[in-house]
Amino acid sequence: MREGIRAFLSYFSLCSQTHLSLFKLNMNILVTGANGQLGNEMRIVSKNTTDHYIFTDVNQVEGLETTYLDITDMDAIRKMVKENDVKAIVNCAAWTNVDACETDEKLATLAEKLNAEAPENLAKAMKEVEGLLIQISTDYVFGKEPYNVPCNPDQKGTPTGVYGTTKLHGEQKIMATGCDYVIIRTAWLYSEFGKNFCKTMLNLTATKPQLKVVFDQCGTPTYALDLANAIITILDKVKAAQSKDEYVGVYHFSNEGVCSWYDFTQMIARIAGHTECDIQPCYSSEYPSPVTRPAYSVLDKRTIKETFGVKVPYWVDSLVKCIANLKEAK
């Protein structure tokens, strides 16, 4: 009799553990800003996972399955989370028109709403269901204080303008909710999708006889596909953990290496074979801007590599892949 009870309990325990493992292996994940650069890359990498992804945006794009969601609407977020049993949100949505924020008060207010208040809404929604929020932030939270060493995640934010300030506010509001979060600051994002520096320079170096590009702003380009893969790695790591507490925090991700915008442009032209364009270096002061951009946007990525085992490719290697994909898509 006792042997029978032990066997039953052993079987029950095994079934429970198997059920728990299956639950951890599959998660419903909401992606906001799904039609932007990073959102589109998330669509690609999500196909290699067992999770169920819900891609949302306020803008509809022909050929892309997109669920409408206004992340400034708390009730709409709660409804979406409840109806789809969402356990994680990846927030790729943001207001990113840096110069416009400085010159238009209404747009500055909109930036605060999208970059600070909306992430707070998402954080509250995840707090209510004990879920995880992955928030994408920016190197623009730094820059006011001069430095020439890579910025670490614990470094105090000193934004130079409205955009960076609103993104820093977003980080602070998320933390204040007490939700489980992973904030990832990134820089110089580019991809095959949307408007970005890489695609702009591919066009200009192919059509202009001469270009001037600033050389006194340094950082590291980030291929959005690499960032998307890092996010998948983070989600997998958190899912497998007994507790999310050890992973909560602020992290940095960009590709490896350092270059100026001038170096970036030279490499874009070289890889693309645009040898006719004469690319010359210039100072930032030659192109006045409403906002002072960070002069040194190199991010220290040690914690994201050590905590999650994220692999970070060299920026030139990733640029080669992106340009090859763009050529293939033509």
320 or 288: which leads in pLDDT: 320
- Residue in the block written with tokens 């169920």: 52
Residue among 163, 190, 223, 296 flagged as catalytic? 163
User: What are the structural domains, with CATH classification, of the chain?
Assistant: 2-191+221-256+298-313 (3.40.50.720)
* pLDDT band at residue 19 under the 50/70/90 scheme: very low
| 24, pLDDT greater than 60 | no
Q: Are 222 and 257 in contact (CB under 8 A)?
A: no
pLDDT tens figures, 216-263: 999 999 999 999 999 999 999 999 888 889 999 999 999 999 999 999
Closest among 291, 315, 303 to 107, alpha carbons compared:
291
Measured between alpha carbons, how far is 238 from 227 in angstroms, rounded to an integer?
17
Residue 41 predicted with pLDDT over 60: yes
pLDDT by residue (tens digit) across 99-110? 999 999 999 999
Distance in angstroms (rounded) separating the CA atoms of residues 221 and 219? 7
Summary mean pLDDT of the chain = 92
Question: What is the DSSP annotation of 278-303?
Answer: EEEEE-GGGS--SSPPPSEE-B--HH
Q: Which tokens in the block code for residue 99?
A: 């110069």
Cα separation values, 53 from 42, 65, 84, 88, Å: 9, 11, 10, 10
What the block records as the tokens of 255 is: 């590709």
pLDDT more than 90, % of the chain: 85
pLDDT of residue 263: 98
**Does residue 314 carry a catalytic annotation?**
no
pLDDT at position 303 over 50 = yes
Share of the chain above pLDDT 70, in %: 92
